[in-house]
Amino acid sequence: MLELCLLMILLSEKRLNLQLKRLWMTLMLTKLYLRVSSLILSFKTQTAVDLLAPWELMETKVVAAIGPQSSGIAHMIAYVANELHVPLLSFGATDPTLSSLQYPYFLRTTQNDYFQMHAIADFVSYSGWRQVIAIFVDDECGRNGISVLGDVLAKKRSRISYKAAITPGADSTFIEDLLVSVNLMASRVFVVHVNPDSGLNVFRVAKSLGMMGSGYVWIATDWLPTAMDSMVPVDSDAMDLLQGVVAFRHYTYESSVKRQFMARWKNLNPNDGFNSYAMYAYDSVWLVARALDVFFRENNKITFSNDPNLHKINGSAIQLSALSVFNEGETFMKIILGMNHTGVTGSIKFDSDRNRVNPAYEVLNLVGTGPRRVGYWSNHSGLSIVPPEKLNSKPPNTSTANQHLYGILWPGEVTKPPRGWVFPNNGKPLRIAVPNRVSYTDYVSKDKNPPGVRGYCIDVFEAAIALLPYPVPRTYLLYGDGKRNPSYDNLVNEVVADKYDVAVGDITIVTNRTRYVDFTQPFIESGLVVVAPVKEAKSSPWSFLKPFTIEMWAVTGAFFLFVGAMVWILEHRFNEEFRGPPRRQLITIFWFSFSTMFFSHRENTVSSLGRLVLIIWLFVVLIINSSYTASLTSILTVRQLTSRIEGIDSLVTSNEPIGVQDGTFARNYMVNELNIAPSRIVPLKDEEQYLSALQRGPRNGGVAAIVDELPYIEVLLTNSNCKFRTVGQEFTRTGWGFAFQRDSPLAVDMSTAILQLSEEGELEKIHRKWLNYKHECSMQISNSEDSQLSLKSFWGLFLICGITCFMALTVFFWRVFWQYQRLLPENADEERAGEVSEPSSRSGRGLRAPSFKELIKVVDKKEAEIKEMLKQKSNKKLKATQSAAGSSQSEREIPQIDKSSTI
């Protein structure tokens, strides 16, 4: 019936011109058989007759085949299509393993389940779930689709915790037994990938078992929207079963072509439902028709030949010898793959893997009387509330921040996303492994009272459990014989082996362990440090030099001399105390320079520039003096401790034995990371062995130092009355956490609870309860080199002083040069006056060039003398100007006298 409906719609197309109608008749004459099964609507299970129908069809000369809708049958028919070179177009086979590499003549005109499983994985990641249970039909399509889902989830740090397979055609009893078993598991997120004939039975049984209520998550693949769309009207009983279910449906964007097709469909079939597979089948017919049109336009002919490898099988209904090979099948397949037009399902174009371009799905939430769209998914942009066709023109963006959906009403009419897991309902409490320590028992140890363990780590774990919004049944199991500390690496391995669900204690978060288990947020900081015997440092006669580094002493001394020289230059012309014989002047420079350290210089400064430089320098000296005094006081009065072991570097280069705590990761770290010989490492059982080994030393069978984690060392130092100290810095940075099995959802909730304890100050209260030390002592030896004042702390002061000196010196020399220029013309006039008898050629040479020796003479003269010389020069110039003016007046009067005498 469906074939007839599709043909009637196709032939009623206004777009179908007379040429295409003649083409259709040509297709029929060349025996093109379009096999479009009525299972598009009903999705009934195919019988043996349905399996034989394609074979009977292939016995005639065929150039293309549309169908089948079943992935299992498509696997078989694709082999025949390959042998006969007949393009096989399937609108319903969504199995991701049907690849073009294996079946060159197979073409999927619908969406590949590979993309649908990516959409589901993105939705699971978007909702924050780490585990899902897959319920699927046990056939090629179901198994292969769930296999792809598992691979995609693994890339997103999630997984399928259990695969529940349903036998095709299984009854309600089988489904009930299956759902009862999965309901005993921890995960509450179910992905249902089945056929419509058994799919609704799954939800019907789940409803009867109370599995459609609050806390459950049901995700259905495209089979469910297909079945719902085929119902006219929608069954109210079925909708009652599906409240809160999330489903994915093939997305076909709204267009005029799609609306016209749906209108014609309803006119022909007013009582039949309509789903996306019908549109894919319709587009498949059009695709073949258009491809054949191109095929004939290119002057291709249809010919067939017999395959000698195919022989008749006696007693079989299948006549293999009647099968013919389509000689132009490869050419026709290339034409189909090159087609590019728009159908009712959107753009019909294929990528290099022969998948439909721009795959997209609608995300539906089944509530009320029908589905509600909450968003879209596409491989171009991931989850979005914007239709995919609007995003395809933009650059791809599948980042986590770009994923959005509208609100979803979950089963039980819950708007908040479910947690997705609960503790299994099989009566097994959480198995908690606790190390049975023999040392540092304040952190964790055995207890006679319930729950059998005690300590700082146990209180932190219990406080975090109390913050969880659900009960956690648990039991504590001691790990170790109680005679020595257990190996924490072995403890973590027991969690990996599923012997325990979680390890609680002083477990360090290290790289090797994080590869196999999930740690919570650290609840205490930790790190490896070195502990060594110390002794009081002896006082040195050169302690007064320790406050400053060598560079600081050198720069400070250089600036004393530099500033003294600057002041001498600026005061030499003004101040008699800075004049005299060279020896006296040199002594004055040195005396003035270093006397400023004590503010006891006897020379007075009289020039403005000299006073400016001196003021800035005295400020610098004040800061240096104060810093030196404070540092020297600290060195001479505070008790100084020293050790021949300076840190981990000196410990590694030596050949002395090193103590480590038994069972911790410190031994492996030093052997593997620091390349320390295993023979040098001495395991120590408890604090008494720690103290005894340190006191004996390496010469008496002890150790030179101990390498252990900081929390243990804090306890050790206080219990030893501060006889030992840490040397150097922490050379690892880590913390303690609780180790859960890989992908355990409880680890995330516990991390959130630990952060809440830290923000509310509860962690500090627990710390004070168990680790309130009686003897507080300085943890680390103070390094004298670290306490020295370096040039880095004072370079700003020296920079200011240097800039001031440079500016003052610039102003000084500019003024000297200006004075020298004013004195120079006077000397030149005197020379010209004494050389009147020389040739005229020399009289015109102008001013003499400046002499460096004369400039130095000007610099060395007193300022008073320079001013006097400038004053005399000015007076002479004035008299010369007046004399020249009188001579000019006389010259003007002489001609008048001569004229009168003549008269």
Q: Could you report the per-residue pLDDT of 75-109, keeping only the tens digit for each?
A: 888 888 888 899 999 998 999 998 888 899 999 99
* pLDDT tens readout for residues 186-206: 899 999 999 888 889 999 999
Q: What is the pTM of this model?
A: 0.65
CA separation (Å) from 887 to 524, 830, 833, 873, 898? Answer: 105, 21, 19, 21, 17
pLDDT at residue 152 in the model: 95
Q: Look-up: residue for tokens 């001498």? A: 568
CA dihedral (836, 839, 841, 842) positive or negative? negative
Q: Give the rounded percent of residues in the chain with a pLDDT score beyond 90.
A: 37
Tell me the average pLDDT across 238-251.
94
pLDDT band at 606 (very low <50, low <70, confident <90, very high): low
Other CB atoms within a 10 A radius of the CB of residue 721 amount to 10
Burial of 20 (0-12, 13-18, 19+ CB in 10 A): middle
Amino acid at 629: T
Nearest Cα residue to 277 out of 226, 232, 348: 226
Tell me the average pLDDT across 279-296.
91
pLDDT at residue 260 in the model: 87
Q: CA–CA separation, 115 vs 111, rounded Å?
A: 8
Model confidence at 603: pLDDT above 80: no
Model confidence at 15: pLDDT above 50: no
Q: Look-up: residue for tokens 């030390």? A: 773
When the pLDDT of each residue in the chain is averaged and rounded to a whole number, the result is 80
* pLDDT tens readout for residues 848-873: 445 656 666 666 666 666 667 767 77
pLDDT at residue 271 in the model: 72
Model confidence at 12: pLDDT above 50: no
pLDDT at residue 893 in the model: 54
pLDDT at residue 212 in the model: 94
Higher model confidence: residue 510 or residue 567?
A: 510
pLDDT at residue 14 in the model: 41
Q: CA–CA separation, 121 vs 129, rounded Å?
A: 10
Backbone angles phi, psi at 160, to 5 degrees: -90, 110
Tell me the average pLDDT across 35-58.
41
Q: Are the CB atoms for 803 and 845 separated by under 8 Å?
A: no
Nearest Cα residue to 205 out of 188, 230, 182: 182
pLDDT at residue 617 in the model: 82
Other CB atoms within a 10 A radius of the CB of residue 27 amount to 20
CA dihedral (582, 585, 591, 594) positive or negative? negative
Model confidence at 333: pLDDT above 70: yes
Q: Are the CB atoms for 809 and 612 separated by under 8 Å?
A: no
Q: Give the rounded percent of residues in the chain with a pLDDT score beyond 70.
A: 78
Nearest Cα residue to 67 out of 98, 93, 90: 90
pLDDT band at 48 (very low <50, low <70, confident <90, very high): very low
Higher model confidence: residue 424 or residue 836?
A: 424
pLDDT at residue 781 in the model: 53
pLDDT at residue 436 in the model: 94
pLDDT at residue 58 in the model: 55
Tell me the average pLDDT across 825-846.
44
pLDDT at residue 720 in the model: 77
* 38 contact partners, CB below 8 Å, separation of at least 6: 1, 2, 3
Tell me the average pLDDT across 737-741.
95
Nearest Cα residue to 148 out of 119, 123, 117, 126: 117
Within 487-596, where are the H helices?
488-496, 511-514, 550-571, 582-595
Which residues on neighbouring strands pair with residue 135, listed in sequence order?
164, 192
Model confidence at 687: pLDDT above 60: yes
pLDDT at residue 852 in the model: 59
Model confidence at 295: pLDDT above 70: yes
Kindly state the DSSP code that residue 459 receives in the 8-state scheme. Answer: H
Higher model confidence: residue 466 or residue 870?
A: 466
Q: CA–CA separation, 477 vs 458, rounded Å?
A: 12
* β-pairing verdict for 658-661 and 705-709: parallel
* pLDDT tens readout for residues 395-414: 888 888 889 999 999 999 99
Instruction: For 206-238, give one letter per residue: b (16+ CB within 10 A) or e.
Output: bbeeebbbebbbbbbbbbbbbbbbbeeeeeeeb
Q: What is the CA radius of gyration of the chain?
A: 49
pLDDT at residue 123 in the model: 96
Model confidence at 50: pLDDT above 50: no
Model confidence at 827: pLDDT above 70: no
| Three-state secondary-structure class, residue 340 | coil
Nearest Cα residue to 125 out of 96, 155, 97, 103: 155
Q: Which of 42-46, 49-53, 652-656, 892-896 has the lowest mean pLDDT?
A: 42-46
- Most confident stretch, 44-48, 584-588, 839-843: 584-588
Q: Which of 118-122, 462-466, 870-874 has the lowest mean pLDDT?
A: 870-874
Q: CA–CA separation, 56 vs 76, rounded Å?
A: 14
Model confidence at 845: pLDDT above 50: no
CA atoms within 13 A on the CB side of 220: 26
Model confidence at 315: pLDDT above 50: no
pLDDT band at 638 (very low <50, low <70, confident <90, very high): low
Model confidence at 381: pLDDT above 50: yes
Model confidence at 51: pLDDT above 70: no
Model confidence at 243: pLDDT above 60: yes
pLDDT band at 874 (very low <50, low <70, confident <90, very high): confident
Q: Are the CB atoms for 385 and 379 separated by under 8 Å?
A: no
Model confidence at 46: pLDDT above 80: no
pLDDT at residue 216 in the model: 95
Kindly state the DSSP code that residue 194 receives in the 8-state scheme. Answer: -
Q: CA–CA separation, 225 vs 708, rounded Å?
A: 61
